Amino acid sequence: MKQKFKNLAFIALTGFLLMIAVTLSGCIGEGNSSECPACPQCQECPEKTECRQCPQCSKCLESSGETKYLALSTTTSTENSGLLKVLNAPFEEKYNVKIKVIAEGTGKALKTAELGGSDVVMVHARSQEDAFVAAGHGVNRRDLMHNDFVILGPADDPAGIKGMTDAGEAFKKISESKSNFFSRGDESGTHTKENEVWTASGVEPGGTWYKSVGKGMGDTIVMADQQNGYTLSDRGTYLSMKDKINLVVLAEGDPILYNPYGVIAVNPSKFLEKSGEYKLAMLYIGYLTSPEGQKIIQEYGREEFGQPLFFPDAIPEDVLSEM
């Protein structure tokens, strides 16, 4: 009887030690990196993503060892629109880096970066970005790209804003008709912009028609769609979802709806143990703002959605088009 218990205890203890070993070696979810052949042999890599390419023969270099990680905190719009997976893949392959994309609202993304939870931020609220840099949390901010915000609503448009080009006036009509309006309510870039538009409209929103949902862009659009309400969305997220919803673009084109994205490296002097990550962050920013990265931004969405979702800003578009 006692023997039986000893066996049980032994199994539990062995499992426990194994678990610790696995955890400490950090192997969970990463897969085992296999050794790559050295360059002179020029053999095909068994697992390309684990290896670097040789600049001469474009075949494999020996494995650079551990895969490096770069944590990017960004907005839900860049991730949900599908841009990041296309934009990050060439960078990850070239430099044997895995980019950990943490998609959250702009406010939360900047807070995560401020606390050192991420190494680089890609967000869209210029006022918050400037404050972030001014406070010494970030360095080397670059303009990356832009698109614009659109006011979405049900096709029957109870507030009667269809075709309006003054966003403030459109918001005022929505508030006067007491139509449901869905606000992100999460200090995201879109929420920041929405507040700017309400200020321009001269209306202080409130009451049961104004619903602050505290969720990402996709969720907010789905909620507005379900309850025939209005909402403010970036064009990219709207285009990526428009086949699944009934909402349509009712008002657009106001200069206030301009939506610029910036990319900022976390200040390396704040977290000394992260100097390696800072170098990677700068490499990433260099890539994003290079002709290669900007071209990908320029092309993304043309095929799938019939129009670009974002417009590159780091390199003038006419220069880029000639390249």
Partner 1 sequence: MGSADFLIEGLVKALDLILSGDSYLWSVVAVSLEVSGSAVLLAAVVGILIALVLSFTDFRGKSIVLAFINAGMGMPPVVAGLFVFLMLVSAGPFGFLKWLFTPQAMIIAQFLLITPIITGVSISAIEAVDSRIKDTAYTLGAKTLDMAVVVVKEAKFGIITAVLAGFGRAIAEVGAIYIAGGNIAFWDAEADTYTSYTRTLTTAIVLETSKGDISTSIALGIIIIGIAIIVNLMTNFFQGRSRHG
For tokens 């449901």, the residue is 180
User: Percentage helix, strand, coil, to 5, in the chain?
Assistant: 45, 20, 35
**CB-wise, 121 or 167, nearer to partner 1?**
121
Element (H, E) at 68: strand 68-74
Q: For residue 136, which of 8, 230, 308, 264 has the smallest C-alpha distance? A: 264
Which member of 102, 133, 200, 203 binds partner 1 (CB under 8 A)? 102
If one asks whether residue 262 binds partner 1 (CB under 8 A), the answer comes out as: no
Alpha-carbon distance values, 183 to 117, 130, 151, 156 (Å): 27, 24, 12, 20
Cβ-in-10-Å burial (0-12, 13-18, 19+) of 23 comes to: exposed
User: Which range in 92-100, 254-262, 289-297, 306-314 contacts partner 1 by CB under 8 A?
Assistant: 92-100
Do residues 237 and 84 touch, judged by C-beta distance below 8 A? no
Site for partner 1 in 20-79 (CB under 8 A): 22-23, 26, 28-30, 48-49, 71, 76
| Closest CB to partner 1 among residues 1, 322 | 1
219 part of the interface to partner 1, by CB under 8 A:
yes
Residue of 74, 75, 78, 88 that binds partner 1 (CB under 8 A) = 88
Q: Write down the least CB distance from residue 157 to partner 1, Å.
A: 18
218 forms part of the interface with partner 1 (CB under 8 A):
yes
Residue nearer to partner 1 on the CB measure, 127 or 227: 227
End-to-end CA distance of the chain: 79
Contact status, residue 167 vs residue 197, Cβ threshold 8 Å:
yes
Q: Please give the helix or strand (H or E) that residue 234 lies within, else none.
A: strand 230-234
Taking the least distance from each CB to partner 1, the nearer of 120 and 197 is: 120
Q: Point out which span in 150-158, 172-180, 268-276, 300-308 binds partner 1 (CB under 8 A).
A: 268-276
Nearest partner of 283 among 125, 137, 94, judged by Cα: 94
Of 223 and 249, CB closest to partner 1 = 223
The candidate with the shortest Cα–Cα distance to 240, out of 307, 155, 144, 187, is: 307
Tell me the residue length of the chain.
323
Question: Stretches 13-21, 33-41, 251-259, 284-292: which one binds partner 1 (CB under 8 A)?
Answer: 13-21
**Residue 94 binds partner 1, judged by CB under 8 A:** no
Closest contact distance (angstroms) between CB of 241 and partner 1 is: 5
Residues at the site binding partner 1, with contacts judged by CB under 8 A: 1-2, 4-5, 8, 12-13, 15-16, 19, 22-23, 26, 28-30, 48-49, 71, 76, 80, 84-85, 88-90, 92-93, 98-103, 112, 114-117, 215-216, 218-219, 222, 241, 244-246, 270-271, 273-274
